[in-house]
Structure 1
Amino acid sequence: MKFSVVITTYNRLNLLKRAINSALEQAIECEIIVVDDCSTDGTEEYVKSFGDRLTYYRTTSNQGHAATMNIGVQNAQGDWIKPIDDDDYLAPNCLEEMTKVITLHPESVILSCQAAQVDINEVEISRTRKTGPGTAFYISQEDVHYGMLLELVPFGTTIQVAFRRDAFLECGGWDTNLTSCDDIDSWVRITDLGDAIFINKCLVFRTVWSGGYDQKIPIQKRCDTNILMKEKIYARVNKKHKNFIPDISNIRRYMNLHWGMIAVKQKQFLTALNILLPAAFYPQAWLIFLEAIFSRKKLKKKQIYGSRF
């Protein structure tokens, strides 16, 4: 089994250098691909200076995040893909630890791990919570969408996740029509094809800063797109779980509460009011919201985890 690291970038050379170094410093050999979305900041010259240690692709015009990832995966030689946005980076043992657990459960098509959220100076702000049994465990395909819907397992940002190349290609890759959640949309479809793994180790670092791509998208649009993701997941939940999930209307309202509170924290009060109003008077939506905050209490009600490794 071989990993390909696919790094997508656009005009962030200083941050890209860190992402590339983190791939070069991996404890196991891997292919490293950089896909440049037509940068104008010297990215091409820098990447090409590594010679055949890196494979470089450049778009002829700015095509967006999803398109650049698709180019990288289509041209990769590895069985598994570790995607990286240029402002994020890997721990030196990331691919080694991922390889170990994939070997133990080859039926998996996707995995996620703990991530440390860091500021622009690499100071840790927070960390993805631990969940489930042991250092690593799997979730069967028939259970994974239930877990994703109720946020029992963190399958989130690009840097947390690795996936099997053939599954990515079979499900159509990243949707270039999406300006956010293009990664999560792909996770939802990849998990139609096999089991998932979660690793309770911090193997990656996600930079939270004002220049992040998601920070440029209006909160209302981010809310609407995340609701769309929930709807896609909801439609895929295995029938054995149907009696254990809230109505989709309350899932939508829960997302309104979640993103409304984010708008409040960012002092976008008019946006917050517009997002919160459709959900504020529905107790079931508040119950889902509170359960999401207080340690995912539904974990005690229904077990979805497979064997730990």
Structure 2
Amino acid sequence: MTATPETPRVSAVIPAYDAAAHIVGAVESVLAQTLAGVEVVVVDDGSRDATAELLAGFGERIRVIRQPNGGLSNARNRGIAEARGTFVAFLDADDRWHPDKLARQLARLESDPALGFCSTRTRVEDPAGRLLNHWDCPGDEALLETLFLRNGAVPGSGSGVMVRRDLFARVGGFDESLRSLEDIDMWMRLAAVSGYACIDEPLTLVVKHPGSMSRNLAVMRAAALRVMRKNRHLLPQATRGRLWRAGYASVLADFAKWEYRAGQRGRAMLHLAQGLALAPLSRGRMLLGLLAAMGAGRTL
């Protein structure tokens, strides 16, 4: 699709559910972009708080789509369907963008037609603004294979990625049957049909809320394994078995660490043992190191 004066080059899609505490900051970070003419589409996914009233304050600077609550993937898919831009960028309601983010991503994608999506290095903070982590760009290896080995390989994920909108006609929308990791599922499908780029600057800000990981461990574990099984066929046949085993072991190691930190030490040890049974030599060493740390009671 070629942008015309009536067609914005970029549409920003923001799903929002009971987001009154954060939505103004998210929308303002889009309106502050140095890239001119960005279409802002907010999907109010059945909010029961003051989200609608706060969005109304932006007037005609944004488009608000109101719908009954359908979940995050459903709201993103509605945003894609409503968006008019050649490119779509996603932003969660409690996250923020650096003013140059969209301009930098658009320039990168327009420089190479083979690139279908682009993310940026990401700064991770707690709600008080304290730095928790940086999510870095992946290396030069094939992204699809990297996603199987490391689910967080696309930094920023649901708030960091810009996609050519016409690619959704090829890969479909976000999987509305998934309760978690629906973004990883989408990046796997996109990586199978298009190139990927990452801007190596922290242009995306993600806010992590306390306790959110431990409350959802069971849901995330089930989703991680389901996403891997669903997309296993996308891997090169020659390396499919090896990558599947290594990826499965990596997921088990991640959950063992989270479970250990959440005080679920029995489950952590079980998942480490299962990972060791699957892991190739290099990941086996990593799992053994985690096992030793747990046995010594060290912080992971």
Tell me the TM-score normalised to structure 2 length. 0.83
Structure 1 match to 2:195: 195
Query: Any residues of structure 2 matched to 1:160-199 within 5 Å, and which?
Result: 160-199=160-199
Unaligned runs of 5+ in 2: 4-8, 290-300
Structure 1 match to 2:250: 254
Structure 1 match to 2:17: 10
Q: How far apart are 1:233 and its partner, in Å?
A: 4.3
Q: How far apart are 1:170 and its partner, in Å?
A: 3.0
Aligned residue pair count: 279
Distance across 1 between alignment mates of 2:281 and 2:40? 44
Distance across 2 between alignment mates of 1:207 and 1:14? 13
Structure 1 residues 15 and 70, CA gap change in structure 2 (3 angstroms): same
SS at match of 2:242: coil
Q: Given that residues 246 and 280 in structure 2 are in contact (C-alpha distance below 8 angstroms), is that contact kept between their aligned partners in structure 1? A: yes
* CA displacement, residues 87-136 of structure 1 (integer Å, 9 cap, x when unaligned): 11111110011011112112211112211111101222111124547xxx
SS at match of 1:14: coil
Structure 2 match to 1:91: 98
Distance across 2 between alignment mates of 1:215 and 1:38? 26
Structure 2 match to 1:221: 219
Q: How far apart are 1:276 and its partner, in Å?
A: 3.3
SS at match of 1:85: coil
* CA displacement, residues 154-202 of structure 1 (integer Å, 9 cap, x when unaligned): 2252112111111124322011111101111111122233211122111
Q: Given that residues 89 and 204 in structure 1 are in contact (C-alpha distance below 8 angstroms), is that contact kept between their aligned partners in structure 2? A: yes
Distance across 1 between alignment mates of 2:10 and 2:76? 15
Q: Given that residues 148 and 244 in structure 2 are in contact (C-alpha distance below 8 angstroms), is that contact kept between their aligned partners in structure 1? A: no
What residue identity is the alignment partner of 2:61? R
Structure 1 match to 2:295: none
Q: Given that residues 254 and 286 in structure 1 are in contact (C-alpha distance below 8 angstroms), is that contact kept between their aligned partners in structure 2? A: no
What residue identity is the alignment partner of 1:267? G
| More displaced stretch, 107-116 vs 151-160 | 151-160
Distance across 2 between alignment mates of 1:87 and 1:211? 16
Distance across 1 between alignment mates of 2:143 and 2:245? 21
* CA displacement, residues 266-294 of structure 1 (integer Å, 9 cap, x when unaligned): 22334424433422455527626739x9x
Query: Any residues of structure 2 matched to 1:42-121 within 5 Å, and which?
Result: 42-59=50-67, 61-121=68-128
What residue identity is the alignment partner of 1:108? L
Q: Given that residues 246 and 279 in structure 2 are in contact (C-alpha distance below 8 angstroms), is that contact kept between their aligned partners in structure 1? A: no
Distance across 1 between alignment mates of 2:133 and 2:210? 17
Q: How far apart are 1:35 and its partner, in Å?
A: 0.5
Structure 1 residues 192 and 117, CA gap change in structure 2 (3 angstroms): same
What residue identity is the alignment partner of 1:110? F
Q: How far apart are 1:245 and its partner, in Å?
A: 7.0
Picking from 27, 33, 40, the partner of 2:34 is 27
Distance across 2 between alignment mates of 1:253 and 1:87? 32
Tell me the TM-score normalised to structure 1 length. 0.81
Distance across 1 between alignment mates of 2:234 and 2:72? 26
SS at match of 1:186: helix
Distance across 2 between alignment mates of 1:264 and 1:194? 37
Structure 1 residues 131 and 254, CA gap change in structure 2 (3 angstroms): closer
Q: How far apart are 1:261 and its partner, in Å?
A: 1.2
Q: How far apart are 1:83 and its partner, in Å?
A: 0.5
Q: Given that residues 145 and 238 in structure 1 are in contact (C-alpha distance below 8 angstroms), is that contact kept between their aligned partners in structure 2? A: no
Q: Given that residues 145 and 243 in structure 2 are in contact (C-alpha distance below 8 angstroms), is that contact kept between their aligned partners in structure 1? A: no
Query: Any residues of structure 2 matched to 1:202-213 within 5 Å, and which?
Result: 202-210=202-210, 212=212
* CA displacement, residues 42-83 of structure 1 (integer Å, 9 cap, x when unaligned): 111211221110000111x22110111111110001111111
